[in-house]
Amino acid sequence: MSDDLLIKDENSIATVEQHDLFSMGIKKLNRVTPGNGSLRRRRRSSSRASSKNLKSTTDISPASKIFRNLLILEDDLRRQAKEQKLLKWQFTLFLSSLMGVAGFAFYELYFSQESVQGLYRMMLQFLFMFIMITVILFHLSGEYRRTIVIPRKFFTNTNKGIRQFNVKLVKVKSSVSDMIADIVRYISRKVAWTSMRILRIILPISYLETTWIYQLWRSVAIRSQPRIGAVDVKLVLYPRAFSAEIREGWEIYRDEFWAREGARRRKLVNQISPKRD
Amino acid sequence: MNSLSYLTGSSQPTSSSKEELRFPFSESSLPNVTEEQEVENGEVSQDSKGGRPSWVWRVVFFLPTWLIIKPIWLIWFVLTFPLNLIEHTSSKDGSVEEEEVIPTNSQGSGGGEVIEDDDLVGESMVLHEDSIKSSRPSTSRSSYTSTRLGKFLFPKKLIPQSILQTDRKKVLVLDLDETLIHSMSRSTSSSNTSQGHMVEVTFSVSGVSSLYYVHKRPYCDLFLSRVCKWYDLVIFTASMREYADPVIDWLESGISARFTKRKYRSDCILRDGIGYVKDLTMISKNLQDTIIVDNSPVSYAMNVDNAIQVEGWISDPTDTGLLNLLPLLEGLRFTTDTRNILSLKNGEHAFV
């Protein structure tokens, strides 16, 4: 299963690149290869490039700098969006469960066929009052606004703030198969972490590193890393302010960066199970 | 995925030597079973000196390993062989090229410029126009030079270490009137002033004293208390010191932080027919780490690329101007150069 995921992931990134290459139709992507023009020399270019004097910032094109900073901004906005979504869900769940209990108590007290008496009735009354006061305080203290109203408007508010810079934050819809893969990855990651923790407790440390089961879970944990890049939220440049070339350049830059980052992380798998040459 | 997590390397397992980390189900372990057993026996004798528990575990795991796991693995290996083959051949390139990268890194760190390294050492690519397929109708730009965007450089780390590790915050310059607060003198406002904070101002020159009602913009306290965690706050107002000081004191009382600097009308540059212009270089020489939030474009006319414009506020109680800026400001705190983002307000001119 984990092998499947790994292979799927590599393929998906490859298709992203290919999609960029072919969908544009007007451009093609060439890696900078000083010396020879072979397409697959990726890393060599870096060693060459860094041997040149790239330390001075003047060598870097303004587009590259802008895109890099946009990436930083986008990544932080992605984190914020995730954080706000979590906040919203947590407190919606909290409030709705409170209201559910309160509704149950209210029904038992006043609408139930058999009248409740004694201690049970007092308990229900206390519970109802307690929850009502909690909810009112929650609203009055501004927590309701902070945890539910503002997170719900996160995209609207953010877009109002960044509109003057001709960028827009949009949600990315992921396909059903991607979502299934995400869930499978999530579950297998959690399972792997849990079993690694258990193994660390029950097994002696000297024996841990060589145990096959520990190695297995470790490789599963690495292979089921979450997808990275613009999978949920992304920044889009406004078409009326930027030409198609710049917008495509930005998309390419982002996809390329995250593809490289993903490749860097997946190299850890090869470190754990090195291929035999 | 948050960028911080991989920068700190938390997701990486502790690296140890490759022999130790060998995946136990790799292909090699299948054919030479006897060798493995010999090796295992040898290890057992070594381990038994060290401790008894590991030997016990080895016995416990022995039967399931050879009776269940290894056969299953064999079947799995046979089934996924084609996929493994593809993966194997594709990753070969990477392993060869990896060796070429390593010396580069050591050179970079040897130079003592580790902090700047991650900033700039990266891989690059250039967008080229496909001359064959350029069937697009020629627009205003007939040449459509492909290298207009220049070479793309990919940083090794998204946020450079120099920014993550430093304690120095970026500087956020805030305007006072119509941005954070709005004030009315008593004579002009007859009604609806009871909620405002009263500030008495005595002008030293004329000796005239007057009373102002000051109102905070909605979310002003929330804005300031959030933003002071990310930035050093500076107030730069075009109003007089006598008026601004009590107002700033009042603002400070609502939040836990202090404004690091206060600048007044005397620090502005007066341009005839235009108004007071604020020069950011007198606050910080590092303009790449400076942001100004102002409602009037005249104020930041000298530093347009550092400015975030916010709509002027007078009395609208449902205004969310400050709230809307929070996500942007939170995202900008890790950028290498704030001007790169803020200059996007000029559209394509930012790229030339």
Residue type, B155: P
CB atoms within 10 A of CB B335: 25
d(CA A97, CA B203): 58
* Interface residue A22 vs chain B (CB under 8 A): no
Decide: helix, strand or coil at residue B234.
Answer: strand
Is B309 inside a domain boundary?
yes
Q: Are B226 and B200 in contact (CB under 8 A)?
A: no
Nearest CB partner across the interface for B335, out of A73, A161, A164: A73
Q: What's the structural domain count of chain B?
A: 1
pLDDT at B309 (0 to 100): 94
User: Which tokens sit at A62?
Assistant: 């303004």
Q: A259 touching B, CB under 8 A?
A: no
Active site residue B316: no
Residue B84 lies in a domain: no
- What is the per-residue pLDDT for B83? 81
Can you give the CATH number for the domain in which B177 is found? 3.40.50.1000
When CB atoms are compared, the residue of A4, A45, A275 closest to B123 is A45
The per-residue pLDDT for B274 is 86
B166 touching A (Cβ < 8 Å): no
pLDDT digit of tens for each residue in chain B (352 aa)? Answer: 444 444 444 444 444 443 333 444 434 433 444 444 444 444 444 444 445 677 777 777 777 788 888 889 899 888 888 888 877 766 554 443 333 333 333 333 333 333 344 444 556 666 654 444 444 443 333 333 345 677 777 888 888 888 888 888 999 999 999 999 998 886 655 555 556 788 888 877 777 888 888 999 999 999 999 999 999 999 999 999 989 999 999 999 988 888 999 999 999 999 888 889 999 999 988 899 999 999 999 999 999 999 999 999 998 899 999 999 999 999 999 999 999 999 999 988 888 7
pLDDT at site A170: 93
Is residue B290 in a domain? Answer: yes
Comparing CB atoms, the residue among A43, A66, A203 nearest residue B350 is A66
Q: Which residue range is the domain that position B225 belongs to? A: 170-181+217-343
B177 is catalytic: yes
Which tops the pLDDT comparison, B151 or A101? A101
What's the rounded mean pLDDT across residues A70-80? 94
B332 touches A: beta carbon within 8 Å = yes
| Model confidence pLDDT, tens digit, residues A210-265 | 888 888 888 888 888 888 888 889 999 999 999 998 999 999 999 999 998 888 88
Answer yes or no: is B9 within a domain.
Answer: no
Return the pLDDT at A37: 39
For residues B240 and B265, give the distance between their C-alpha atoms in angstroms, rounded to a whole number: 5
pLDDT digits (tens, 9 = 90+) for A108-157: 988 888 877 889 999 999 999 999 999 999 999 989 999 999 999 999 99
Residue A74 has pLDDT above 90, yes or no: yes
Strand partners, A168: A236
Q: Which pLDDT score is estimated for A19?
A: 41
Is B120 a domain residue? no
For residue B196, tell me if it sits in a domain: no
B residues 60..119 contacting A (CB < 8 A): 61, 65, 69, 80, 83-84, 86-88, 90-95, 97-98, 100-101, 103-104, 107-108, 113, 116
CB B268 within 8 A of CB B173: no
Q: Quick check: B169 contacting A, CB < 8 Å?
A: no
Digit-coded pLDDT (tens) for A30-64? 433 344 434 343 444 444 444 444 444 556 788 88
Which B residues, 6 through 65, put their C-beta within 8 Å of a C-beta on chain A? 6, 11-13, 15-16, 18, 20-28, 47, 50-51, 53-54, 57-58, 61, 65
